[in-house]
Amino acid sequence: MTAPPNAQAAPNASAAEPGVSGVAVLRQLLGRFRPYRARCAGMFALALVAVVLSVMSPLLLRRVVDEALPERDVPLLATLCGVMLALSLVASVLVVAQTALANWVGQRVTALLRAEIHDRARSQPLPFYTERGQSEIQARLVNDVDGVDRFLTGTVQRWLSTVLSLLAIGGAMLVVEWRLALLCVLMALGLGLVNNRFARRRRALARDRQRLLTTVLRHVAEDLSLSGVLLGRTLRRTRWQRTRFLDVSEEIREVTYRQRITGMSAQVLIGSSFAALPPLIFLAAGTLGSGVTVGSVVVLIILQGRLSQQIQELLRLSGQFQASLAMFERVQEFLDLPAGEVEPTAPGARRAGAPPAVRLRGAAHGYPGAGRRALGPVDLDFPAGSTTVVMGRSGSGKSTLALLLAGLLPPDEGSVALDDGTDPRAAVTLIPQQTALLKGTLRENLLFARDGVPPAALDWVLAAVRLDTVVARLPEGLDTQLGAEGLRLSGGERQRLAVARAMLADARVLVADEMTSSLDHETAEQVTAALRAHCRNRTLVLVAHRLPTMAPDDRIVVLDEGRVAEAGTHLELVARGGYARLTGSPAPRGAEKAVVPGGGRG
């Protein structure tokens, strides 16, 4: 089977030890329990009492076998049996209480962890999302946190009970017959060391498995989305999509198989070693001389059986523990990301007030790993209340400029500032090239713009972008569900929805990046005119490939390979001559009269 490039991610790539050690990861995890110290202590106490009670029964059994039964002492027998029953009942109640407490604490720690990862993932600079991709973030936030949750609420609790049980059983065995107990404990220690080797291997395999599951998520998101299905079918590459999915699926099968076999080998090795203990106990009891009663032998066999069970449980848990640790390492990697502020805290700054001018001084931006800078350095002025059309060939840096203007990308050097000192992120709304829509109704998508939109404003905006006729046709009007990513709407309708939503956001500066690329000429002109009317007292920047109908005062910036090739008002540029060659735009009447110096630096 041909392995497509994406499926060839080396299976051992992440088998290498990650940067953070297991102990450090565990310490960070345990640190999260600090606020719940008292409840954790309560959980520990409950577990301890439950374990002590559970080993008392076999000790009572020795008296049943050695005294009550041979001497036919019915009152003693009834008392011992009654106490044994009561002990097991109380131990069960304590286990339930302990589980409730563990989940109470564990769920709080997990919820906090989930919120922190969400905050970190949300506040990263834009290149983070290009590099990581949606599925990677999804896998960390959902699958890995879920793994940590299972660890916190299940594995830790069972591990605690098991370790305490081992200590209690060991103690009880020492009370019954110390020499035989020592034999069992030494054997348990040896087997623990063997298990450690298996556990390390299982942790590496668990890490590999998580990485592969993330890849599967990515493939599913790419290939089984509407755009992925269209891409695969139209280019007749569905078999390729299937192949790369199966390749990763095979890798998962292999890694899971190895993970389970490693775990099972350790369990079988230890299980069979313990099977050898009863004959050894009988032999020792027969050869150690006096002091070993039949009751002691029976109790030792029972305790040894329990010891074996607990050690095997510990083994199973150590496998889960290693898998959880691998997940926590992945979660920690996200928690270690620098925290950033994505939204200024003054929401009022977005609306009201005079339109600001936007100034770029020596502003430049290069994407990580790209050869040349996508933009700049450039000096540009967008005067208060002006309309500027940004043009240029594909790849000339228009979208990069739009992102800088909206404060969504920081300039690597130079500055992007509003003349009134407002943070661009508080005053600028961007209509990006790709329209993002929520799974919900048309109304919900529009009102996402801001809280408290008056119904009249909603109606005005819908009519302005010619969406009113679309709404009238929809079965449930504004309350029609748009489906995932709003795919029930046409591309042009989605674009108009994005424009309407940005208008409702009521920002003082609006930057529209090719907002009419999917619209016919007439509708595009109507939508642009509506946006201009809306922006009469705002600063507007239109990124466009086609020159819209221009007003004499409209400004134009022509970009070429990230530099400003031309800048000025429409009339100035037409008068200078070179601009018509770049845009194919005819000179409007009277152009030759207006010549004003432009403001660009290439």
Residues forming contacts to ligand ATP in the complex (CB under 6 A) are 130, 367, 370, 374, 392, 394-400
Q: Could you give the CA distance from residue 441 to residue 443 in angstroms, rounded to a whole number?
A: 5
Closer CB to ligand ATP, residue 172 or residue 402? Answer: 402
3-state secondary structure 520-578: CHHHHHHHHHHHHHHCCCCEEEEECCCCCCCCCCCEEEEEECCEEEEEEEHHHHHHHCH
Closer CB to ligand ATP, residue 366 or residue 599? Answer: 366
Q: How far is the CB of 518 from ligand ATP (least distance, A)?
A: 14
Any idea what DSSP says for residue 481?
B
> Between 294-335 and 37-63, two packed helices, what is the crossing angle to 10 degrees?
160
Closer CB to ligand ATP, residue 28 or residue 517? Answer: 517
Closer CB to ligand ATP, residue 219 or residue 398? Answer: 398
Closer CB to ligand ATP, residue 392 or residue 407? Answer: 392
Residues 582 and 566 sit within 8 Å (Cβ to Cβ): yes
Q: In a 10 Å sphere around its CB, with 0-12 CB exposed, 13-18 middle and 19+ buried, how is residue 525 labelled?
A: middle
Q: How far is the CB of 490 from ligand ATP (least distance, A)?
A: 21
CB-side neighbour CA atoms (13 Å) of 408: 17
- Least Cα distance to 422 among 497, 358, 495 occurs for 358
Closer CB to ligand ATP, residue 73 or residue 412? Answer: 412
- Enumerate residues 6+ apart whose C-beta is below 8 A from 227: none
Closer CB to ligand ATP, residue 130 or residue 227? Answer: 130
Q: Which residue has the tokens 């500032």?
A: 417
- Enumerate residues 6+ apart whose C-beta is below 8 A from 9: 211, 215
Closer CB to ligand ATP, residue 126 or residue 283? Answer: 126
Q: How far is the CB of 432 from ligand ATP (least distance, A)?
A: 11
Q: Could you give the CA distance from residue 81 to residue 183 in angstroms, rounded to a whole number?
A: 30
Q: How far is the CB of 241 from ligand ATP (least distance, A)?
A: 24
Q: How far is the CB of 397 from ligand ATP (least distance, A)?
A: 4
Closer CB to ligand ATP, residue 108 or residue 393? Answer: 393
Q: How far is the CB of 437 from ligand ATP (least distance, A)?
A: 20
Q: How far is the CB of 223 from ligand ATP (least distance, A)?
A: 22
Residue 379, classed as helix, strand or coil, is strand
DSSP string, 51-84: HHHHHHHHHHHHHIIIIITTTT-HHHHHHHHHHH
Torsion of CA 303, 308, 312, 317, to 10 degrees: 30
